Amino acid sequence: MALMAVVFTAFALAVPAAYAAVNRADETAATQVLTWTAGNDYMSYASAPATAVAGKATIVFESSAATGNTSGLSHTLTFDASNPDYNSDVSLNILASPFDSEGGRHTAEVTLTPGVYHYYCAMPGHQMMSGELIVTAAPGDDTTAPDTSATVSGTKDSAGNYVGSASVTLTASDAESGVAGIEYSLDGASYGSYTTPVEINSVGRHTLAYRATDKAGNTSPAKTVDFTVVAPEPPKDTTPPDTSATVSGTKDSAGNYVSSATVTVTASDTESGVAGIEYSLDGASYGSYTTPVEINSAGRHTLAYRATDKAGNTSPAKTVDFTVVAPEPPKDTTPPDTSATVSGTKDSAGNYVSSATVTVTASDTESGVAGIEYSLDGASYGSYTTPVEINSAGRHTLAYRATDKAGNTSPAKTVDFTVVAPEPPKDTTPPDTSATVSGTKDSAGNYVSSATVTVTASDAESGVAGIEYSLDGASYSNYTAPVAVRNVGRHTLTYRATDKAGNISPAKSVDFTVVAAPPEDRTPPQVSASVSGTKNGSGDYVGSATVTVTASDTGSGVAGIEYSLDGGPYLQYSAPVVIDRAGSHTLLYRATDKAGNTATSQSLSLTIADSKPPTNCPERDDGSTVFLGSINTGVPNRVTTNGCTVNELIEDHRAWNNHGAFVSHVGEIVTTLRKEGVLDQREAALIKKAAGQSDVGMPHHGTAGR
C-alpha cells in the first residue's frame, strides 16, 4: 500500500492538466475513440490501438477485473513527451486500478497530430509495457488528384499494330492520402474498376480512357491511349502429311497371317490438316482409303499408301509387305488331364483348422491348356487363376474341369474336405505395467511442491481388468486416475495389475522425493556485455563491432534482455548487436527475471572507424542523421549493406520530375532497408512521413538547413 500512495502522489503532481480533461461532460465529443486495457501482466498491455487519424480523440484506459486485472495491480497509460524521436504535443498520464474511484476505467480528450506517439506504463518494474501509436493525416487534407499513366504491350507488326492482342497496364500514385482505385473505359463504354492489365483481342482501332481517385475523393483528369489490333496471318503449309501403316490378324509360327490380314493406314498433318489417303494393292491403281483394307487371298502381298494435305502437299509413297496363308484344320480331340490337392493345418480328425487351400492343375500335350474352371459347393463355374482358399467352417465340395485350345473340355471332378474353427488360446500371461512421475523438478531432481504418478497397464490376450497401488507401504487401493503426492519427503509407490483371466502382474515400484517450494525471488539478474571486432592503433573498431550481452539469474531465471543504442528506445535483445556506423556510440543494457526484477542499466562506449569510404553511391552524404530536403528525421544515417549511407540512397539532392516520384522512391528504399534490418518500424515511419512533408521534387526545391 506504501507504493500505491507514492504513485498517486507522483501522478497528481506530474499531470494535473491532462487528467483534468477526464470525464468532462461539456467537452466537444471526439471523432474517434482509442482504447487501451491492462490486466495481471506487467510486461505488456492486454490490448492497444496501433493507428489513428489526426484530430480530436477520446482516450479510454481501463484496468479492471473485466479486462483481466484480478490481482489489483496499478498501471498507467503515459505518453512519452520527452523523447525527440516521437510526437511530444500530448501530455497524458492516467493511473488506473480495479480499486480506484472509477472502478479502473478512465477517459481523456486529446488532439492528435500526424506522426508517431510512444506510450508506456510508468509503474516501477512495468516499463516493458510500451508501444507506438502511428497517426496519419486526415483524408480531407488532400486536394491533389493522383498521377496516372498507361503502357500498351504485345507483339507488333512492321506498321506498329498489335498482332492478335494487346495488353494495357494502368498505374497510379498519390503521395498524400493514397490511391483508392483506378477506372477505365474501352471504346466509349461505361467506366469499370481496373484490377489487372486489360487484354484486348478484338481486331480494330481501340481507345482506352482511364482515371484514378485517391482516398480523399480527388479524381484525376481522364487520359487516353490509342492502339490497333490486327489478326495474325496464317502460316503457309509446305510440309506433306506423316503416314504409317499396321498389319493385324492371326499369325502362324512363321509370321504369316492365317486366313486374312487387315491393313490400317493413318496420316497426320499439324498445319493445314489431312485432305485424304490413297492406297494401291499389289500394283493396282491408287484408290481412296476410307476404312482398313482386309486381304483374304493366300499369297505374298504389297500395299502402297500415301496422303495429301489441304494445302495440296502429297507424301512420298510407302509400302508394307505381308503373306496370307490358308488355315490348317484342327487335329486335337482329346481333353486335358486334371487333378486337385488340398493343403492346410489339420486336427486329429483330419479336418482343416481355420482354412483349406485347393490347388488345381491341368495338362494337355496337343493344343495346350486354354483355361481351368471351378465350382465351390454347387455355385456357378468361375475361372481358376490361383489356388482357392476356403475360410468358412463346414463341409465343402469343389468341382473342377479344364478346356484345351482346341475346345475340348475334361469331365468334371470333385474333391471333398471339412473346415473347422480354431480353439481360442488360454491366457496365462499377466499384464505389462509401467509408471511415470511428472511435476516441476529442482536442480537435484526432486519434485517441487508435488509429484504426480501415472500408472499404465496393457494385456494383449484377455485384456486388463484393473490396476492397484500402494503409497509408502499402505494397503493396496484401486487405481482410477493419476496419483498426486504433496507431502514433503521420500516416497515409494508400488503398483500391480490383473487381467480378465485372473493373472496378476508382479508388483513394481517407483521412488521419488517431494520438496517444499523455494522462497520468492526478489533479486534482479546479473548482466554483462563484451565487444568483439578488429581494432586499429587507436583502439577504435574498424568497420564494425559486435556487442554480446549475457545475463544469469539463480532464482526464478532470466525472462529477457533489453538494450538501447545511442539514446534510442530499449529493444528486445535476441542476438549479438552489430554496430557499423562510424563514430562514437553508447550502448545501455539490462535484464529482467521471471519474477519481474529488473537489473540496473549498465553501459559501454566504443568508437567505429571507417574501413573504407563507400563507392558507387548515388551521392555523397555522411551526416549523422537522415535528412529529406530540410527536414531532419532524427533517424541515424547508418551505412547499409551495399556500403552507402541511408542519405546517399535517398538522393534528395537529385533533380526529381515531381514530388510524387520522390515519395514513391523513398517508399521503395525504406521497404528494402526494413527487410535488411537497417531500419526498424518506427524509423521507417518517420522517414516516409518526412518524405511526404518535404518539398523535394517541387518547384524551387532547395536544401536549406542541411
Please tell me the chain's helix, strand, coil percentages from 3-state DSSP, rounded to the nearest 5.
10, 45, 45
| Distance, CA of 96 to CA of 38 (rounded, Å) | 9
- Report the mean per-residue pLDDT for the chain: 89
Q: What single-letter amino acid sits at 371?
A: G
pLDDT tens column, 381-402: 999 999 999 999 999 999 999 9
In the chain, ranges of CATH 2.60.40.420 domains: 2-136
Q: May I ask the CATH class of domain 2-136?
A: mainly beta
- How many whole angstroms separate alpha carbon 495 and alpha carbon 469? 4
* Residue entry with cell 504513485: 7
User: Cα angle at 286 between 280 and 289, to 5 degrees?
Assistant: 80
Looking at 2.60.40.10, 3.40.50.300, 3.40.50.1700, 2.170.120.12, the CATH number of the domain 242-325 comes to 2.60.40.10
**Confidence band for 614, pLDDT divided at 50, 70 and 90:** low
| pTM for this entry | 0.26
Residue written as cell 499384464? 431
Provide the grid cell at 219: 479524381
In percent, the amount of the chain with pLDDT more than 70 equals 93
Terminal C-alpha separation, the chain? 53
Residue linked to cell 480528450: 109
Q: Which of 20-29, 271-280, 436-445 has the lowest mean pLDDT?
A: 20-29
pLDDT band, residue 697 (cuts 50/70/90): confident
Decide: 361 and 339 in contact? Cβ < 8 Å: yes
Q: What is the mean pLDDT of residues 472-498?
A: 96
pLDDT band at 54 (very low <50, low <70, confident <90, very high): confident
User: Quick one: pLDDT at residue 18?
Assistant: 35
**pLDDT confidence bin for 141, thresholds 50/70/90:** low
pLDDT of residue 24: 36
In degrees and rounded to multiples of 5, residue 367 shows phi and psi of -80, -15
Q: How far is CA 706 from the centre of its chain?
A: 46
- In degrees and rounded to multiples of 5, residue 433 shows phi and psi of -130, 155
% of the chain with per-residue pLDDT over 90: 73
What's the CA gap between 509 and 532, in Å, rounded? 54
Topology at the third CATH level for domain 526-609: Immunoglobulin-like (2.60.40)
pLDDT of residue 706: 61
Going from the C-alpha of 574 to that of each of 560, 675, 695, the distances in angstroms are 9, 17, 39
- What confidence tens digit (pLDDT) does each residue in 284-324 have? 999 999 999 999 999 999 999 999 999 999 999 999 999 99
Residue 700, pLDDT score: 65
What letters, b where the CB count within 10 A reaches 16 and e where it falls short, cover 422-455? eeeeebeebbebebebebeeeeeebbeeebebeb
> What is the pLDDT at residue 14?
35
For 147-230, CATH gives 2.60.40.10
Q: Which residues of the chain does CATH 2.60.40.10 include?
A: 147-230, 242-325, 337-420, 432-515, 526-609
pLDDT band at 330; cut points 50, 70, 90: low
Nearest CA among 662, 642, 645 for reference residue 703: 662
Residue 9 has pLDDT above 80, yes or no: no
* Residue type at position 390: I
432-438: strand order across its sheet? 432-438, 451-458, 483-485
Retrieve residue 674's grid coordinates.
526494413
pLDDT of residue 78: 97
Sorted by sequence, the CB contacts under 8 Å of residue 381 that are 6+ apart come out as 373, 374, 375, 399, 401
Q: Average pLDDT, stretch 523-530?
A: 95
Strands (E), 594-696: 602-609, 625-628, 631-636
* Alpha carbons 27 and 107: distance in angstroms, whole number: 12
The continuous run of DSSP H or E covering 684 comes out as helix 681-693
Check whether domain 432-515 has CATH 2.60.40.10, yes or no: yes
CA distances from 261 to 296, 448, 561 (A): 7, 93, 90
Q: Is the pLDDT of residue 242 over 90?
A: yes
| The CATH number fitting domain 337-420, selected from 3.40.50.2000, 3.40.50.720, 2.60.40.10, 3.40.50.10090 | 2.60.40.10
Are 686 and 680 in contact by the 8 Å Cβ rule? The answer is no
Q: Which of 483, 431, 430 is nearest to 455 (CA)?
A: 483
DSSP 8-state assignment for residue 491: E
Contacts of 450 (CB under 8 A, 6+ apart): 439, 484, 485, 486, 514
**Average of pLDDT values for 214-224?**
88
pLDDT category of residue 613 using cuts at 50, 70 and 90: low
C-alpha span between 682 and 685 (Å, rounded): 5
As a whole number, mean pLDDT of residues 90-107 equals: 95
C-alpha cell at 602: 549498465
| 693: three-class secondary structure by DSSP | helix
Band of residue 137 on the pLDDT scale cut at 50, 70, 90: confident
For residue range 13-46, what is the model confidence (pLDDT) as tens digits?
333 333 333 333 333 344 799 999 999 999 999 9
Task: Show the CA angle centred on residue 480, arms to residues 479 and 484, nearest 5°.
Answer: 75
**Residue 164, by phi and psi: left (phi above 0), alpha (psi -120 to 50) or beta?**
left
Retrieve residue 144's grid coordinates.
Answer: 491533389
In the predicted model, what is the mean pLDDT of residues 436-457? Answer: 94
Q: Which residues contact 275 (CB under 8 A, 6 or more apart)?
A: 307, 308, 309, 310
Question: Mean of the pLDDT values across residues 163-180?
Answer: 89
What is the spatial distance between Cα 639 and Cα 621, in angstroms, rounded to a whole number? 11
Q: How many CB atoms lie within 10 A of CB 1?
A: 4
